[in-house]
Amino acid sequence: MASSSYYNPPCAACKFLRRKCIPGCIFSPYFPPQETEKFVNVHKIFGASNVAKLLKELLPHQRAAAANSLAYEAEARVHDPVHGCIGVISSLQRQVNRLQKELDSANADLIWFACNDMPPPLEVGRRNVDFGGGGIFYQTGSVPISYDMTWNDIYNCHGGGMDGSN
């Protein structure tokens, strides 16, 4: 008799659902035994049967991405039941907006110094930037720059052209 001593541990889904993990289990490739929490979150938010149904409807090469996407969304929803993924996206969007303003401000500084034949910024004043959540940035020295101005505002008010032809 060919009794197999090979033991294939059940996937995280079958382990959690206390069922036998049969060959071809739809969860097995995407929820390995060591990633129990990944399945627990997905099951809690979407339900195992819905996830199985969704995975079966997809082409095999799309399933891993879908499983990971569901896992990401589920984890976000577990941590932030109100906003889920949108909370993370909004936070990153605010960060992008703040950094865009800082970039515009730095570009405005560059234009101002270029147009006024000023020495480099370090010789004029020290620029302080707080990268924390407050989005505060200020500048010591006496350079009159409005942080509300965008690169295009500065560019246009100086007649355009960075090539010295204006």
Based on CB atoms, which residue is closest to Zn ion, 27 or 154? Answer: 27
| Among 17, 25, 88, 110, interactor with Zn ion by CB under 5 A | 25
- Report the interhelical angle of 60-79 vs 85-116 (nearest 10°): 90
Report the distance separating Cα 28 and Cα 12, nearest Å. Answer: 7
Whichever of 70 and 154 has its CB closer to Zn ion, that residue is: 70
Query: What amino acid occupies position 1?
Result: M
Residues contacting residue 128 through CB under 8 Å, at least 6 positions apart: 137, 138, 139, 140
User: Looking only at residues 3 through 22 of this chain, which bind Zn ion when binding is defined by CB under 5 A?
Assistant: 11, 14, 21
Contact between 30 and Zn ion (CB under 5 A)? no
Q: What would the two tokens of residue 83 be?
A: 């906003």
**Between 11 and 111, whose beta carbon lies closer to Zn ion?**
11
User: Which residues are near Zn ion by CB under 5 A?
Assistant: 11, 14, 21, 25, 27-28
